[in-house]
């Protein structure tokens, strides 16, 4: 600040001097030159020196994003094949590590399918933004694959998932109530991220990406601390980011529920041996249900009716609260903060200026124009906030309904929403061991016994 | 369970839903992409006209040494002896001693070119690897010609989906531009590039290299004009759209 004040008179003096000089010497020549010509000292006429031309460096490897798209498609095919057809945990793990190395450490994380959601939202919300086809494919490929094969993307292709898959060495089971509760966060986060992307405020998912700093082996302090914390938690809680934060995980969980094929724990028939019960570090195995005793049925029915009745109320409450939250939500928009600051400066409520307010004043743009802009932004947030609230209400309402509905399951099955198709449970299933031949002796013994019974 | 080769009603409906959902997604995406005819990769550039050289570029980049560096547009440079982008305001003497230099890393290189009627002219080039993008020289140069400006270097930028500097930029000067546009130059530089290009073409005669340079300069200028015009169009349209809603 002090330096700037000291500079001001000097700046003026130099300006005036240079203007005088140039007018005196080159006045007529410069009259033809538009815009700020009076300030500019012209390039001298050199005798034998050629004025160099500065050329911007070329974009490196302009075709690489297409290679990445191709590799993403290939990796998704391979992941689906390994998880569903080959049922090979080792194969899935190897692919995970390979994808971590390529998409994570080599390509350094951007653009990733998780972030690409925001590019799509921005393209919907901002008429000035053109969505590159490669970025769109980065979003679409995992979604379409999930519609057919379940979350194989999460299992083996996503570099963020891969970091957590590799570090999950001592996973504990998260209590069910906590798991269900925290599992709602990705849906909220998704709504928030879409709102902020569509209003061109910023890409919050990228801003709070815990792993990109690890992939690049550099980053600001907050990013590194957050990344280290998530990795540390990930040692004891399987895939904390995927389960409790990842917005793409929320999208894929919904798609996975409708998937055509999905991994199964038992390759042939489930014998309900309970061996796989605690094999999943991500709490994605659903136990077989027992029919409810008849005396508890009326209470269950009431619960379901309450949940069904509550859902629309929650959506409505969300709309109301979301509308109220417009102003705090808009605070993240840089122009909102700028307008606030400029107005407070004008009213004398704060002293001094910030870089942003100074930059604004230097542009000479009228304050009224900025205020009008910000009012439009806030109007957008009022609408967006209502949608966000409705979405959150809907998510909670549907969750309550889902919790009260007792599905009829006779086998141990993966929860299609939460299962990432990592294949950890395969080896726990004796049927699997039998088909692999690891339990052959017993199988032979059994067949010998049946033959004995049948023969006499 | 459906028998082999046959699907039950539920399975059929689910299949239909899945397929139509998939097609809808791909179709909507294709529409989004096709609407603006944009399939190029996008890269970050800053608008030097908006830049205030606040110094955030040096500190906020995710790279250890920022991808933003200083560029000198020589055709706007005055080749001054007393360069306000090179010397401290209270320099001891007009030489290359470190205490006289504005640049904290000594990345601006001063080279004597010529003396004409007692006036000495110097060339100022930026040593790329040394430059940290702090913008001190840019601020200094802005007092005079403003030929020095900060710009994102493509060969260093890792092209984050959300640029950390763009988030921190007080002037909101960062833009995503199609990679084939390559750069954003100052508005005042467009005319300068054009003049230089035309001059090169006039002088070219039989020299294919000069002709090529001249043509590429004119092409660069044309791309810049296009971008400025489109940007102005967007701004006008956005304000036109939003003003009635806001008021």
Partner residue facing B245 (CB), from A35, A143, A379: A379
Please report the pLDDT score of residue B244 as a whole number: 46
Residues A373, B242: C-beta atoms closer than 8 Å: yes
Please report the pLDDT score of residue A406 as a whole number: 80
For residue B75, which of B215, B188, B209, B238 has the smallest C-alpha distance? B188
Please report the pLDDT score of residue B9 as a whole number: 81
| pLDDT range class, residue A203, cuts 50, 70, 90 | very high
Structure token pair of residue A147: 């519609």
Which residue in chain B has the smallest CA separation from A45? Answer: B116
Q: Are B176 and A131 in contact (CB under 8 A)?
A: no
Length of chain A: 456
Please report the pLDDT score of residue A453 as a whole number: 66
In the block, tokens 């972030």 appear at A115
Please report the pLDDT score of residue A33 as a whole number: 40
pLDDT digits (tens, 9 = 90+) for A390-448: 999 999 999 999 999 887 888 999 999 999 999 999 999 988 888 887 766 555 666 76
ipTM value: 0.86
Residue B108 has pLDDT above 90, yes or no: yes
From CA A58, how far away is CA A132, in angstroms rounded? 19
For residue B64, which of B169, B136, B148, B158 has the smallest C-alpha distance? B158
**Peptide bond preceding B134: is omega within 30 degrees of 0, i.e. cis?**
no
Interface test with B, best of A56, A203, A258 (most B CBs within 10 A): A56
Please report the pLDDT score of residue A62 as a whole number: 63
Please report the pLDDT score of residue A133 as a whole number: 86
Work out the average pLDDT over B140-156. 92
Residues B38, A130: C-beta atoms closer than 8 Å: yes
Axis crossing angle, helix A247-257 with helix A133-149, rounded to the nearest 10: 40
- A221-258 burial, b if ≥16 CB within 10 A, otherwise e? eebeebbeebbebbeebbbbbbbbbbbbbbbbbebbee
Please report the pLDDT score of residue A445 as a whole number: 65
- Report chain A's C-alpha Rg in angstroms: 30
pLDDT digits (tens, 9 = 90+) for A54-102: 888 877 666 778 898 999 999 999 999 999 999 999 999 999 999 999 9
Partner residue facing B245 (CB), from A43, A133, A376: A376
pLDDT digits (tens, 9 = 90+) for B194-211: 999 999 999 888 888 999
Q: Rounded to two decimals, what is the model's pTM?
A: 0.87
Bigger pLDDT: B237 or A131? A131
Residues A110, B183: C-beta atoms closer than 8 Å: no
In the block, tokens 């460096």 appear at A57
Residue B219 has pLDDT above 90, yes or no: yes
Alpha helices in A126-265 (DSSP H): 133-149, 152, 159-167, 176-182, 185-198, 204-207, 212-216, 221-236, 240-244, 247-257
Partner residue facing A43 (CB), from B75, B158, B237: B75
From CA B70, how far away is CA B55, in angstroms rounded? 12
Please report the pLDDT score of residue B3 as a whole number: 47
Please report the pLDDT score of residue B34 as a whole number: 76
Please report the pLDDT score of residue A161 as a whole number: 95
Interface test with B, best of A355, A357, A367, A370 (most B CBs within 10 A): A355
Lowest mean pLDDT among A110-119, A217-226, A444-453, B69-78: A444-453
Residue A230 has pLDDT above 80, yes or no: yes
Give CB contacts under 8 A, 24+ apart, made by A383-386: A384/A195, A384/A198, A384/A199, A384/A326, A384/A329, A385/A195, A385/A322, A385/A323, A385/A324, A385/A325, A385/A326, A385/A329, A386/A319, A386/A322, A386/A323
From CA B85, how far away is CA B108, in angstroms rounded? 9
Using a CB–CB cutoff of 8 Å, tell me whether A437 touches chain B: no
In percent, how much of chain A has pLDDT > 90?
60
| pLDDT range class, residue A454, cuts 50, 70, 90 | low
- The residue ranges of every structural domain in chain A are 69-261, 303-404
Residue A21 has pLDDT above 50, yes or no: no
Residues A60, B22: C-beta atoms closer than 8 Å: no
Q: Is A259 helix (H, G, I), strand (E, B) or coil?
A: coil
Residue A12: CB atoms within 10 Å: 11
Partner residue facing B54 (CB), from A355, A360, A363: A355
Please report the pLDDT score of residue A5 as a whole number: 46
For the CA atoms of A405, A406, A411, A415, what is the dihedral angle to 10 degrees? 30
Residue A45 has pLDDT above 50, yes or no: yes
pLDDT digits (tens, 9 = 90+) for A165-185: 999 999 999 999 999 999 999
From CA A373, how far away is CA B160, in angstroms rounded? 27
| pLDDT range class, residue A24, cuts 50, 70, 90 | very low
Bigger pLDDT: A177 or A107? A177
Residue A35 has pLDDT above 50, yes or no: no
| Residue B124 DSSP symbol | E
- A48-66 burial, b if ≥16 CB within 10 A, otherwise e? eeeeebbebbebeeeeebe
Work out the average pLDDT over B62-83. 93
Which residue in chain B has the smallest CA separation from A332? Answer: B167
Please report the pLDDT score of residue A61 as a whole number: 64
Using a CB–CB cutoff of 8 Å, tell me whether A127 touches chain B: yes
Residues A56, B145: C-beta atoms closer than 8 Å: no
Residue A231 has pLDDT above 60, yes or no: yes
B32 to chain A nearest CA, in Å? 7
């Amino acid at each position: 600040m002090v330096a700037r004040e000291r500079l001001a008179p000097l700046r003026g003096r130099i300006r005036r001097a240079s203007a005088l000089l140039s007018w005196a010497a080159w006045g007529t020549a410069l009259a033809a030159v538009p815009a700020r010509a009076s300030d500019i000292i012209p390039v001298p006429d050199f005798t034998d020196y050629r004025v160099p031309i500065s050329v911007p460096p070329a974009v490196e490897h302009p075709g690489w994003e297409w290679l990445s798209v191709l590799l993403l498609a290939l990796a998704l095919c391979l992941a689906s094949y390994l998880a569903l057809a080959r049922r090979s945990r080792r194969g899935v793990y190897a692919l995970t590590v390979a994808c971590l190395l390529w998409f994570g450490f080599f390509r350094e994380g951007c653009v990733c399918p998780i972030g690409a959601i925001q590019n799509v939202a921005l393209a919907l919300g901002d008429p000035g933004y053109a969505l590159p086809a490669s970025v769109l494919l980065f979003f679409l490929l995992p979604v379409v694959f999930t519609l057919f094969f379940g979350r194989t993307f999460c299992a083996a292709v996503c570099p963020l998932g891969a970091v957590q898959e590799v570090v999950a060495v001592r996973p504990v089971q998260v209590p069910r109530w906590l798991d269900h509760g925290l599992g709602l966060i990705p849906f909220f986060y998704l709504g928030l991220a879409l709102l902020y992307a569509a209003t061109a405020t910023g890409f919050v998912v990228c801003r709070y990406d815990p792993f990109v700093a690890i992939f690049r082996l550099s980053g600001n302090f907050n990013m590194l601390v957050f990344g280290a914390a998530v990795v540390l938690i990930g040692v004891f809680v399987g895939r904390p980011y995927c389960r409790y934060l990842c917005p793409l995980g929320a999208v894929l969980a919904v798609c996975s529920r409708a998937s055509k094929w999905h991994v199964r724990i038992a390759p042939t028939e489930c014998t309900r041996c309970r061996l796989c019960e605690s094999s999943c570090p991500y709490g994605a195995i659903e136990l077989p249900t027992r029919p409810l005793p008849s005396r508890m049925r009326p209470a269950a029915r009431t619960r379901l009716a309450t949940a069904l009745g509550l859902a629309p109320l929650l959506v409505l409450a969300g709309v109301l609260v979301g509308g109220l939250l417009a102003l705090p939500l808009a605070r993240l928009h840089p122009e909102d903060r700028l307008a606030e600051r400029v107005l407070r400066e004008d009213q004398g409520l704060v002293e001094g200026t910030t870089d942003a307010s100074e930059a604004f004043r230097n542009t000479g743009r009228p304050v009224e124009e900025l205020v009008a802009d910000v009012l439009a932004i806030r109007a957008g947030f009022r609408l967006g906030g209502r949608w966000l609230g409705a979405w959150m209400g809907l998510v909670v309402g549907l969750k309550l309904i889902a919790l009260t509905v007792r599905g009829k399951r006779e086998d141990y099955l993966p929860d299609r929403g939460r299962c990432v198709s990592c294949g950890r449970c395969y080896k726990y299933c004796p049927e699997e061991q039998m088909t692999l031949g690891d339990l052959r002796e017993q199988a032979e013994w059994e067949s010998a016994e049946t033959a004995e019974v049948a023969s006499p | 369970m459906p028998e082999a080769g046959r699907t039950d009603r539920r399975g059929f409906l689910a299949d239909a839903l899945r397929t139509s959902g998939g097609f809808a997604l791909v179709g909507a995406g294709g529409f989004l992409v096709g609407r603006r005819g944009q399939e190029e990769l996008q890269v970050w550039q800053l608008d030097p006209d908006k830049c205030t050289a606040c110094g955030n570029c040096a500190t906020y980049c995710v790279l250890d040494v920022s991808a933003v560096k200083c560029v000198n547009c020589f055709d706007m440079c005055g080749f001054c002896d007393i360069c306000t982008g090179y010397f401290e305001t209270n320099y001891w003497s007009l030489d290359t001693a470190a205490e006289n230099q504005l640049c904290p890393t000594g990345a601006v290189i001063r080279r004597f070119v010529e003396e004409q009627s007692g006036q000495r002219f110097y060339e100022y080039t930026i040593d790329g690897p040394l430059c940290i993008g702090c913008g001190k020289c840019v601020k200094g140069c802005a007092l005079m010609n403003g030929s020095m400006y900060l710009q994102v270097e493509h060969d260093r930028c890792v092209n984050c989906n959300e640029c950390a500097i763009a988030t921190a930029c007080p002037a909101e000067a960062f833009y995503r531009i199609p990679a084939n546009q390559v750069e954003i130059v100052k508005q005042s530089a467009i005319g300068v590039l054009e003049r230089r290009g035309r001059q090169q073409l006039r002088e070219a005669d039989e020299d294919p290299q000069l002709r090529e340079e001249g043509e590429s300069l004119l092409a660069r200028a044309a791309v810049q004009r296009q971008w400025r015009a489109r940007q102005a169009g967007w701004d006008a349209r956005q304000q036109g759209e939003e003003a009635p809603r806001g008021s």
